[in-house]
Structure 1
Amino acid sequence: MTVRHISTGSPFEEKIGYSRAVVADGWVFVAGTTGYDYATMTMPEDVTDQCRNALATIGRALEEAGSGLDHVVRVTYILPDKADWLACWPVTSAAFALARPAATMIQAGLQEPEMKIEIEVTARVP
């Protein structure tokens, strides 16, 4: 089995000891991704902006793996405040309009208080 690790350069990846994505046997497993802009290490205040950033980071990792958002088969959304979830629907609906993956939303605390959403996906390499 060939395994490839993909990094975004996030300081969390090195400090915690994980990869943004792992490619193995035609699958891409993308770690829980929050809304940081990794170029500036800033976090928007708005949950929809965080959702957009997280999906953009995920999309870049998937592209580097030879996949893309259209090949996502499973997605998990984690939000500290379930009331924020409704505002994310237009963003997630647009991102996954073609893939329409199996999905779960979980309410749970996240690593930092400014984090309002974390998204994890599994995709196929076409």
Structure 2
Amino acid sequence: MNRHLISSGSPYEPIIGFSRAVRVGNLISVSGTTAASGGKPVAVGDAAAQTRAILETIAGALAQAGASVKHVVRTRIYLANISDFDAVGRVHGEVFGEIRPANTTFQVAAFPNPDWLVEIEADAVIDEGAD
């Protein structure tokens, strides 16, 4: 099977050894994504706005891999503070309300940047013949 790597352009990709997303066959996995632009956090202090930015980035990575959010079968949401669960969940629902992928949401001890409030991963499955 071909392995297609989608880069975010992050300088950490070659250092850590990761890609924004990877497509193998009909499976696409999108790495944990935070709300950053040019390496700097966006929407500092606003978990809902960070979630919107993250989901836009994920949608872009999926598009580069030949998919869209409608192909997402699982998301994982990591929160710096579980009290943001409702706000983040509402934004997740704006995108995935009818798609309804499997989801796990939990609080983590910390992110590498203290301004990151949310990180999201996504897995998608597309028709084997789609490109």
Unaligned stretches of 5+ residues in structure 1: none
Q: TM-score, normalised by structure 2?
A: 0.88
Give the equivalent residue in structure 2 for 1:63: 63
TM-score under structure 1 length normalisation: 0.91
SS in 2 for 1:32: strand
SS at match of 2:28: strand
- Structure 2 Cα separation of the partners of residues 97 and 9 of structure 1: 30
User: SS in structure 2 opposite 1:111?
Assistant: coil
Matched pairs, number: 125
State the 1:57 CA deviation.
0.5
What percent of counterpart residues are identical? 37
Match status 1:50 vs 2:81:
no
The residue aligned with 1:4 is 4
CA contact (8 A) 1:29 1:123 kept: yes
Q: In the TM superposition, what whole-angstrom CA distance separates every residue of 1:87-114 from its partner, at most 9, and x where no partner exists?
A: 1122100111232100000110222111
Residues 72 and 124, structure 1, Cα contact 8 Å, conserved in 2:
yes
- Is 1:120 equivalent to 2:90 in the alignment? no
Mark the CA change 1:115 to 1:6 in structure 2 (over 3 Å): closer, same or farther: same
Residue 17 of structure 1 and its aligned partner are, at CA, apart by 1.9
- Distance (whole Å) between structure 1 residues aligned to residue 95 and residue 73 of structure 2: 13
